[in-house]
Amino acid sequence: MAQHLLTPAQHGSALRAAVGDDVLLRLPENPTTGYRWAFSLPAGLSQVADDYAAAGSAPGGGGERVLHLRAAAPGQHVVTAVLSRAWDTGAAPHGSFSATVEVG
């Protein structure tokens, strides 16, 4: 089984994977600002883990959100994410991400 990586550089792109492959989505995040990624995942990709890794030891410093997915079913599966504050429902998103995982 292979492991594939999605980063902000792959926004709007597509990658090919096989059933059982892992897909890691790594996006910059700083939860101390209130901005967090909210993900929309298709049924063909199962979530294995959702972690946050701080970039350093400085208080309030940013880090990286790592969403670990597994290709569970064949097809074209679009992963989307929106960076926003949960309580700020009327505001435009601070960022977004989308990529297609083609599982064969």
95 has pLDDT over 90: yes
**79 Cβ contact partners less than 8 Å away, ≥ 6 residues apart:** 6, 23, 25, 39, 40, 41, 42, 45, 69, 97, 98, 99, 100, 101
CA 24 to chain centre: 7
Q: Which domain holds residue 23?
A: 3-103
pLDDT at 89: 85
**Is 71's pLDDT higher than 90?**
yes
> How many domains does the structure of the chain reveal?
1
Domain of 69, CATH number, reads: 2.60.40.2020
pLDDT at position 1 is 85
pTM here is 0.89
Q: What is the DSSP letter of 30?
A: B
Distance (Å) of CA 33 to CA 45, 57, 89? 29, 16, 15
